[in-house]
A = this chain, B = another copy of it.
């Protein structure tokens, strides 16, 4: 008769991965730390894994998907704001001038996000995002943004959960933007999605309470903000952390300092044909110091072009 151990060997938990070092490292780690007889065994309660989102679970080129949402919001709201026609960064958005828009820098992007995401209740914002996702299309791929998730990473999330890991998103992106539509795609519930956020205000509203979104950042969940938010919200150090840029380096360093054996994973964008190729010089998802430390400390680096059989689920 077939034993359960045999079935584990027969069923490949990561079928969209080639038989490469990154895949072997992941399976070796999970097998080790979930083995009760191993000195590296990790109790279920401490199996915390944290995943960056943009460029790590889905694509982030030619700009963060949330920026396309913000641009569409600005266009939808333009009639109510005649002053935007002559004011950056709104002017660039209304003129579809991506080059000028990206020249506005971080402050310009922040202004755009804050102005287009605030001034409404959390429920109203959720509905707006969900309506947007139904029709918006990626500018070059021509499919919905929610289709551009990485099939191999979906398999990794499933594999970790099957081994009693909790899977969290810890992203620089807006927490409420993600919560509105990624829960079913990733199999990650709202309470395990962590991200940047606006300040909010509670209004009793005559017995119909609302959480109102204010036009001011409350927390930027990037760089040092990631371990800070992980400590605030989860209260445990991850044993598995995955990202694709220098913005994830503090999170990976934090995981690397775990007393338990831990796993640090970088996604390296090497596939100019099927996805995009960028790293040390990129304005989006710059991976430079992180790559150096990964190579120095023996962290696992996914070579997207070589390691993944398919990138997106629709290619299966």
Contacts and interface: CB of A to CB of B under 8 A. Distances in A.
A182 to B, nearest CB: 12
A231 B211 contact: yes
Contacts of A208: 257
Contact of A228 (B189, B193, B202): B202
Nearest to A205: B257
Interface string A163-174: 000100000000
Interface residues of A, number: 35
A163 B228 CA distance: 33
| Copies of this protein chain in the complex | 2
A227 B232 CA distance: 17
A211 B228 contact: yes
Given A191-B234, A235-B191, A236-B191, A227 B209 contact: yes
Nearest to A236: B190
Interface of A: 45, 48, 122, 166, 175-176, 179, 189-191, 193, 197, 200-202, 204, 207-209, 211, 218, 224, 227-228, 231-236, 250, 253-254, 256-257
11 contacts: A48-B191, A179-B235, A190-B235, A191-B234, A191-B236, A200-B231, A202-B254, A207-B256, A209-B254, A209-B257, A211-B228
